[in-house]
Amino acid sequence: MKIRSSEITPEHVYQTRPNRRAFLKTALAAAGAAGLAACSAPQATPAPVGSAPSGAGMTDELGDAVNRFEDITNYVNYYEFSTDKQAVAGLTGDFKTDPWTIEVTGLVNNPKTYGLEDIRAAFTSEERIYRLRCVEAWSMVVPWEGFSLSEILKQVEPTSDARYVKFTTVLRPDEMPGLSNPLYPWPYTEGLRLDEAMHPLATIATGLYGQDLLPQNGAPIRLVVPWKYGLKSIKSIVKIELVAEQPTTLWNTTAPQEYGFYGNVNPEVNHPRWSQATERRIGEISRRATLKFNGYESEVAELYAGMDLAANY
Amino acid sequence: MTTPTIAAAAPRRPSSKHRLELAVHLGALIPVAVFFVDQWLGRASPDLIRDLTLRTGFAALIFLLLSLSVTPVVSLSGLGVLNPLRRWLGIYAFVYALIHLSIFVALDYGLDPALLADALLQKPYALAGLGAFMILLPLAATSTDAFQRRMKRNWKRLHRAVYLAAALVIVHFVWLVKPGVLDPWWYAGVLAVLLLLRVRPIRRWIASWHRRSA
């Protein structure tokens, strides 16, 4: 993974009005913390409306082009705001991402509470271009800014009892209108086995397209697990907890027959609604074959050696 | 609110039926117009195939519910002039369902036999949707005056199947979304009201209420 500076320079940011306000605020905050976080400071040129950062020439390791910034930021599943993918971005105007703290706790020797600025100072973000495969059989290629989750976990030193990692999304009904839906066990929670969480591909992202995450993409800090369905990549994290037992997750609790704990991308394991054998890359018309572990099989398959992936879906 | 007496007294110009029918024909183009306006305003979905599938599916559902609302609206309002619209609204529901199914089979699944077999054998929502379409097909085919005359009482019997089709469309929608997504239940509520208004005791009660208020 390398940062090609030529590709993150021009920050002409398309912003809807409420987002632009949030963006300026972030920019001012960053200016206040001048120098502290040089490499991840938002390149805050309040840009001309209507132009977006260009992903021209950027590809994943398979040679697939990154998706457009407008599509990545306007077509999202974030049920805390809306179950309508295209409505989410417009409903994030009240969502405050500053100040923000993340508690890393549980079965650890060295529990920590990080402010976002501590995260930026302590860990070096790099550009990581990963495929994101939604369980709804669509996919994108996203140029994230992030670092390996394992770096945080090493700092807090999990004890020998810790076997799983549980993640929790912020719960702010006043700022997140979708939380009024009573049918989900809010807050959103997700989990990984500790060895999955320690895998270098398991990423903590704070940005995409070279700038800070927008609220609809899980600002200010989120998980990206590229070999699993998108629902595992929990957004707007406030708590990371090392635990002994397999944690409950929102989707596994809501519909256990549809969403297992693992959520590994697997074209061979069927789902009652969407054929997982194929997917549509956003921006394309025809479907393409879905790759096992979303194309990261050679990196992650050993995590599941000897496991029945159909039973552990 | 127009009372039945006033409606009955209203002059029935021959053109009013045609004007109403023209409104339905133009109304049938609204989903197409909205699609192009969304494209023009940059509000289009980046997943064009899914977008077209959803838009045509919603259009079919809405026209089906509108078609089912004609009878209760007429019995509540006495506006018998609306009755002929039921047929056109039903036909447009079928037309959008046909486009919806064609997009799914040909554009989305690209006529791929493996994907289609999977949909038929493994995806309950697809089966419910196909069932609804298979019911609407003979209803649309026999929607002409000539068929209505020729089939006599059987025509009415056959066309009662529209209630089953509507229920299957709602089931299709419920099974299609993730658990906890509430959207289908709004439509289910509307359909439930439209069906309840047809239940005999409720119809009688409305009729007696009419007599009292008239």
**What is the token pair recorded at B33?**
């117009």
- As a whole number of angstroms, the distance between CA A32 and CA A17 comes to 23
Average pLDDT, chain B: 91
Nearest to A239 by CA among A255, A252, A221: A221
- Per-residue burial over A220-245, b if 16 or more Cβ lie within 10 Å, else e, is bbbbbbbbbbbbbbbbbbbbbbbbee
Which is more confident, A51 or A300? A300
The closest CB to that of B46, out of A75, A184, A254, belongs to A75
pLDDT reading at A263 higher than 90: yes
Cα–Cα distance, A172 to A234 (Å, whole number)? 16
CATH says A5-304 is which class? alpha beta
Predicted pLDDT at B205: 86
Q: Is B154 exposed, middle or buried (0-12, 13-18, 19+ CB in 10 A)?
A: exposed
Preceding amide of B179 cis, omega within 30: no
Q: Please give the pLDDT value at position B203.
A: 85
Residues of A with Cβ-Cβ distance to B176 under 8 angstroms? 273
Residue found under tokens 């929102």:
A250
pLDDT tens digit string along A75-126? 999 999 999 999 999 999 999 999 999 999 999 999 999 999 999 999 999 9
Query: What is the C-alpha separation between B109 and B95, in angstroms, rounded?
Result: 20
Name the percent of chain B lying above pLDDT 70.
93
Structure tokens at A251: 């989707």
Task: Name A174's Cβ contacts closer than 8 Å, sequence gap at least 6.
Answer: A94
On the question of pLDDT at A34 being above 50, the answer is no
**pLDDT higher than 60, residue A18:** no
Predicted confidence (pLDDT) at residue B192 exceeds the cutoff of 60: yes
* φ, ψ (nearest 5 deg) of residue B165: -60, -45
Please say if the pLDDT value at position A14 is more than 60: no
* Structure confidence at residue B170 (pLDDT): 98
- Checking if the pLDDT of A44 tops 90, the result is no
Give the model's pLDDT for residue B210.
Answer: 75
Q: What's the start-to-end Cα distance of chain A, in Å?
A: 29
- Identify the burial level of A160 via C-beta atoms within 10 angstroms of its C-beta, where 0-12 means exposed, 13-18 middle and 19 or more buried: exposed
Q: What is the mean pLDDT of residues B8-23?
A: 72
Query: A137 to chain B: which residues are within 8 Å by CB?
Result: none
Q: Say what the pLDDT of residue B143 is.
A: 95
Peptide bond into A187 cis (omega under 30): yes
Cα torsion at A177, A182, A187, A193 (round to 10°)?
Answer: -130
The per-residue pLDDT of chain A, averaged, comes to 88
**Residue numbers in A near B34 (CB within 8 A):** none
When scoring A78, A83, A270, A288 by the number of chain B Cβ atoms within 10 A, the one with the most, hence best to mutate, is A83
Q: Are the Cβ atoms of B47 and A138 closer than 8 angstroms? A: yes
Indicate the pLDDT class of residue B11, thresholds 50, 70 and 90.
Answer: low
Straight-line distance from the first to the last Cα atom of chain B, in angstroms, rounded to the nearest whole number = 11
Query: H helices of B103-179, where?
Result: 113-122, 124-141, 145-151, 153-159, 162-176
Neighbours of A105 (CB within 10 A): 16
**Adjacent-strand bridge partners of A228:** A264
- A189-193 sheet: strands from edge to edge: A112-115, A101-106, A237-243, A164-169, A189-193
pLDDT at A275: 85
Its ipTM equals 0.84
3-state secondary structure of A42: coil
Q: How many CB pairs under 8 A join A and B?
A: 67
Task: Please state the rounded mean pLDDT for residues A167-192.
Answer: 98
Arithmetic mean of pLDDT, A37-44: 41
Q: What is the 3-state secondary structure (H, E, C) of A143-204?
A: EEEEEEHHHHHHHHCECCCCCEEEEEECCCCCCCHHHHCCCCCCCCEEEEEHHHHCCCCCEE
Residues above pLDDT 70, as percent of chain A = 84
Q: Which of A92-106, B23-37, B196-210 has the lowest mean pLDDT?
A: B196-210
Q: Could you give the percent of chain B with pLDDT greater than 90?
A: 79
- The C-alpha atoms of residue B112 and residue B118 are separated, in whole angstroms, by 10
CA atoms within 13 A on the CB side of A274: 22
Burial B20-48 (b: 16+ CB within 10 A, else e): beeebeebbeebeeebeeeeeeeeebbbb
Mean pLDDT over B38-52 rounds to 93
The answer to whether residue A22 scores a pLDDT higher than 70 is no
How far apart CA B206 and CA B212 sit, in angstroms, is 10
pLDDT at B24 over 50: yes
pLDDT digit string, tens, across residues B59-86: 999 999 999 999 999 988 888 889 999 9
Write down the residue that tokens 């703290």 correspond to: A101
Are A138 and B122 inside 8 Å of each other by CB? Answer: no
Residues of B in contact with A273 (CB under 8 A): 123, 125, 175-176, 178
- Confirm or reject contact between B106 and chain A (CB < 8 A): no
pLDDT, tens only, B169-191: 999 999 999 999 999 999 999 99
The residue extents of the domains of chain A are 5-304
Contact A43, A210 (CB under 8 A): yes
Would the CB atoms of A275 and B178 count as touching at under 8 Å?
A: no
Q: Which two tokens stand for residue B57?
A: 């599916």
Contact partners, residue B106, CB within 8 Å, separation at least 6: none
Q: State yes or no: pLDDT of A9 exceeds 90.
A: no
All structural domains of chain B, each given as residue ranges with its CATH number in brackets, are 13-213 (1.20.120)
d(CA A75, CA A136): 13
What is residue B43's predicted lDDT score, i.e. its pLDDT? 86
Asked whether the predicted pLDDT for residue A186 surpasses 50, the reply is yes
Question: Measured between CA atoms, how close is B176 to chain A, in angstroms?
Answer: 6
pLDDT score recorded for residue B214: 61
Q: How confident is the model at residue B3 (pLDDT cuts 50, 70, 90)?
A: very low
Q: Quick one: which of B166, B94, B191, B98 has its CA closest to B136?
A: B94
d(CA B44, CA A8): 27
pLDDT greater than 70 at residue A308: yes
- Of the given ranges (A172-176, A255-259, B17-21), which has the lowest mean pLDDT? B17-21
Taking an 8 Å cut-off on Cβ atoms, the answer to whether A74 and B183 are in contact is: no
- In this predicted structure, what is the pLDDT of residue B73? 92
